[in-house]
Amino acid sequence: MQRTRIKICGLTSVEDALQAAELGADAIGLVFYPRSARALESQRAAAIRRALPAFVNVVGLFVNPTEAEVELVLKHVHLDCLQFHGDESPAFCASFGLPFMKAVRVRPDLDLTREISRFSNSSAILLDSYDKHMAGGTGTAFDWAIAQRCVVESPSKIVLAGGLDPSNVAGAIRQVKPYAVDVSSGVESAPGRKCAERMREFIDEVNRVNC
């Protein structure tokens, strides 16, 4: 099995970001969606970015932003990848000259194959749980058999999110075999506050399956 990459999302402090990096996260996610409990201003996000060591990617998460809003963040924060969680078009996502990941929230009325194929220019597709009130960080899982089919049938890199935590991530990886896993609320003590022990347990579980 290929090594499963790990992204820890919704970080809001330098301390938590450094802890995630030290424990072995491949990437961290910074949220630029004002309605999120994990939202960051550019100044704090830039401080987190500057503190991180080399080889840890920084992903910026947006939900239906304007072009100006994304550009303003990019003016102050060096991001390695953009993550879009709303109804953004493929052309909009690709317009900033950076790799991007498109989140697709799994729901029964969505033609998932068609939606993934629309974003064939993405670096990865993130599959997340659907909640009509929240764009992400719901803490609930969806049917992993759906994600498993996407991994088998789609040429896109599939990132599994939604309801992952230290107790279930190993099983999720064994079933789905995703390119990466993405966790936020599953390693928190409170929204935006990561628990070092839960991050350690989560990463240890992923690495145990990778061995």
The domain that contains 61 carries what CATH number? 3.20.20.70
187-197: b (≥16 Cβ within 10 Å) or e: bbeeebebbee
Question: Given this model, what pLDDT does residue 132 score?
Answer: 60
pLDDT truncated to tens, each residue of the chain (211 aa)?
589 999 999 999 999 999 999 999 999 999 999 999 999 999 999 999 999 999 999 999 999 999 999 999 999 999 999 999 999 999 999 999 999 999 999 988 888 999 999 999 999 999 998 666 555 445 677 889 999 999 999 999 999 999 999 999 999 999 999 999 999 999 999 988 999 999 999 999 999 998 7
Question: Given this model, what pLDDT does residue 134 score?
Answer: 53
Residue pointed to by tokens 């989140």: 103
- DSSP three-state, residue 149: helix
Question: Given this model, what pLDDT does residue 129 score?
Answer: 83
Residue 59 contacts residue 30 (beta carbons within 8 Å): yes
Question: Given this model, what pLDDT does residue 211 score?
Answer: 74
Question: Given this model, what pLDDT does residue 140 score?
Answer: 72
Q: Which domain holds residue 106?
A: 5-210
**DSSP state, 64?**
S
The residues carrying an active-site annotation are 9, 128
Which residues make beta-bridge pairs with 29?
A: 9, 59
Count: domains in the chain = 1
Residue 83 contacts residue 31 (beta carbons within 8 Å): no
